[in-house]
Chains A and B, each alone.
Chain A
Amino acid sequence: MSGFIKGLLGFRRGAWEMLASILIALGVFMLMQPFWLVAFTYSFIVTLVGTVMFIIVSHFQE
């Protein structure tokens, strides 16, 4: 966990890609889950932030 945080602080690609992937997966889950309408409402913004973040951080150094 500390390695992951260090990676985020050091702008390492792996850690940031992981964070972006988690956001995308969370957004898609929120979009398609059958339990909570509020989660559906905020799903798109979560997915969008994750996707944009993924595009940006995939240009960071390893």
Chain B
Amino acid sequence: MSGKVVDTLAKATPPRLARKFKGLSDRAIAWIFVAPTIFLLLAINIFPLIWTIRLSFTNFRVNRVNADVKWVGLRNYERILSDPDIWQTMQATAHFLFWTLFFQVLIGFALAYLINKKFKGNDLWTTIIVFPMMLSPAVVGNFWTFLYQPQIGLFNYVVSFFSGVDPSSFSMIGSVDLAPWAIVIVDTWMWTPFVMLICLAGLRSIPDSIYEAAECDRASKWRQFWTITIPMVLPFLMLAVLFRGIENFKMFDLVVQLTGGGPGSITELTSINLKREAFEKWRTGYASAYAVILFVTIFGLASIYVKALNKVKER
């Protein structure tokens, strides 16, 4: 900030306020500015986390606030970690997480690579591709249930058109085998543009001079792709995977709207299961232990991922 601007700001400060701050060190003023944020962080993030950890060792139920709260030690953790239903929801989450990340990275990178090539209508196509990301997950979930309808759904007719299978012979969200793929398709449709945008930023940050130097060295396009494009886009791609991985680990709204966790509990992801334990069965202590397990898992994964990301950036 130039001296002139500082002088103008100083003159504009009301005298009463100026007298209050007179004599305070820069460090003290910095603390005054930062303190509200720190306070909010403690109140909104840290305190609930500590409270959740505390509740996870009790049998507290939020719908019975007057009942005695007993300290149950590690019993909640024991019950969660030996429950085959929760084990099944973990597998459903792993399936969802793995395949959504796989398809989003693959298609997102391919789209970014295409969009990065200069062609007519480039900007228009970028806007059209990005459109699904702008919609609300609840809306997306709702209209995909119509698209997946066996009788009137467009999706079934498209599949029928290409494969010759009768459109009413299969139900994407009613079949135990197809429902896990139905949620993968919708999430991929919605969030691939996000990965595409991040990859596009990475691709556009590569200077043309590097490719020109490679051309001079007679490097083939294939060689340029593997030794220039991929290594330079990798940090961006890893960042996209980190964001999508964390988001999909706690995926809730889209899947609830689409399948409600069904059929049976085949698409019941951990966050849906956790919400049922906490706010339908009202087992707050148990749900807190469940939340702590998920928190530690995500925190651990994010730690090693950020370390890997920093290593890639250093290269």
Contacts and interface: CB of A to CB of B under 8 A. Distances in A.
Tell whether A pairs with B. Answer: yes
Contacts of A32: 90-91, 93-94
A37 B90 CA distance: 12
Nearest to B86: A40
Contacts of B304: 20-21, 24-25, 54
B64 interface: no
Interface residues of A, number: 23
Given A32-B94, A40-B81, A24 B301 contact: yes
Contact of A50 (B87, B94, B300): B300
B31 interface: no
Contacts of B293: 44
Contacts of B93: 32
Contacts of A20: 304
A20 B308 CA distance: 13
A8 interface: no
A47 B293 CA distance: 9
Contacts of B87: 37, 40
A34 B95 CA distance: 10
Contacts of A41: 81-82
B81 A28 contact: no
A15 to B, nearest CB: 13
Interface string B285-303: 0000000010011011101
Interface string A22-57: 001101100111100100111110011011001100
Contacts of A33: 91, 94
Interface of A: 17, 20-21, 24-25, 27-28, 31-34, 37, 40-44, 47-48, 50-51, 54-55
